[in-house]
């Protein structure tokens, strides 16, 4: 029996890399995408030594033409994608909306929303044609409610929720499933990217609390993909134990902090 195939965007770090490892361990072959071609090739070689076939597609999801070209290059078994994990995404800045960076806004919107839509449009028709498949969109607890300084990022993740809900409705007469996976505080390079490489500020986000890891989120993604075919895990909110919402965490028994 042929192995199933998972396509994972943003697979070179964080949740994306963890999902690649989890699905490889779970018996999938992988299509991994990202902007860092060197890291993609390293992962391919690592997985190959473990018996996993890996196809590397080196492109930025913000570049629609590059995405189209990459998907058009697929042939043979790689055309039959079973799971699409729309993971590529990022936050930039934590300024008040009226002081935000136009460049940061564009990067978040183009990656988190438009990139996800591009990959969905390119991959899901094949799933519909085969009447099987699963789309896992990596959203965020930030999509549930705004928090100070999170304005545009929160809006993009709210869009991921509604795009996921709408896609699930559009696919209701098929066997294709849609999951919106909403992590809370996960210690990856997320905060470092948000703060434009300010390591000290990024480390402060996680100080005093045991945050989630990329592996924790990958476990949930794999669980959703492994559910019986008649079961659709529509939405999963995953928080660290001492996180109450997108903005409220407890770092001390006598104190509650708001992320800002």
List the catalytic residue out of 147, 153, 206, 223: 153
Summarised one tens digit per residue, pLDDT across range 241-255 is 999 998 889 987 555
pLDDT(109) > 80: yes
The answer to whether the beta carbons of residues 258 and 148 sit under 8 Å apart is yes
Structural domain including 26 reads 5-258
Q: What is the pLDDT of residue 199?
A: 79
Q: Tell me the pLDDT band of 259, cut-offs 50, 70 and 90.
A: low
- pTM score: 0.93
Q: At a CB cut-off of 8 Å and minimum separation 6, what does 10 contact? A: 16, 33, 34, 61, 87, 88, 89
Tokens coding 134: 């699963």
Summarised one tens digit per residue, pLDDT across range 20-49 is 999 999 999 999 999 999 999 999 999 999
Q: For the chain, what is the domain count?
A: 1
Tokens coding 224: 């959703």
User: Is 223 noted as a catalytic residue in this protein?
Assistant: no
Neighbours of 68 (CB within 10 A): 14
CA-nearest of 193, 178, 60, 189 to 114 is 60
Q: What is the CATH number of the domain that holds 158?
A: 3.40.50.720
């Amino acid at each position: 029996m042929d192995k199933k195939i998972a396509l994972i965007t943003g697979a070179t770090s964080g949740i994306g890399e963890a999902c690649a490892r989890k699905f490889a361990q779970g018996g999938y072959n992988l299509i991994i995408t990202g902007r860092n071609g060197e890291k993609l090739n390293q992962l391919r070689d690592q997985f190959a030594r473990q018996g996993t076939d890996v196809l590397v597609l080196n492109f930025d999801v913000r570049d629609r033409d590059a995405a189209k070209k990459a998907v058009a290059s697929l042939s043979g078994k790689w055309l039959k994608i079973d799971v699409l994990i729309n993971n590529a995404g990022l936050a930039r800045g934590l300024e008040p909306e009226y002081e935000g960076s136009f460049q940061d806004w564009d990067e978040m919107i183009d990656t988190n929303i438009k990139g996800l839509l591009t990959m969905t449009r390119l991959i899901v028709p094949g799933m519909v044609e085969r009447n099987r498949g699963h789309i896992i969109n990596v959203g965020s607890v930030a999509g549930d409610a705004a928090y100070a300084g999170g304005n545009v990022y929160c809006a993009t993740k709210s869009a991921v929720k509604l795009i996921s809900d709408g896609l699930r409705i559009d696919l209701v007469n098929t066997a294709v499933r849609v999951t919106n996976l909403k992590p809370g505080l996960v210690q990856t390079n997320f905060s470092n990217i948000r703060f434009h490489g300010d390591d000290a500020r990024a480390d402060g986000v996680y100080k005093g609390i045991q945050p989630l890891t990329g592996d924790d989120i990958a476990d949930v993604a794999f669980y959703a993909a492994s559910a019986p075919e008649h079961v659709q895990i529509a939405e999963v909110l995953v928080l660290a134990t001492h996180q109450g919402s997108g903005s409220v965490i407890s770092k001390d028994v006598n104190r509650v902090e708001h992320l800002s």
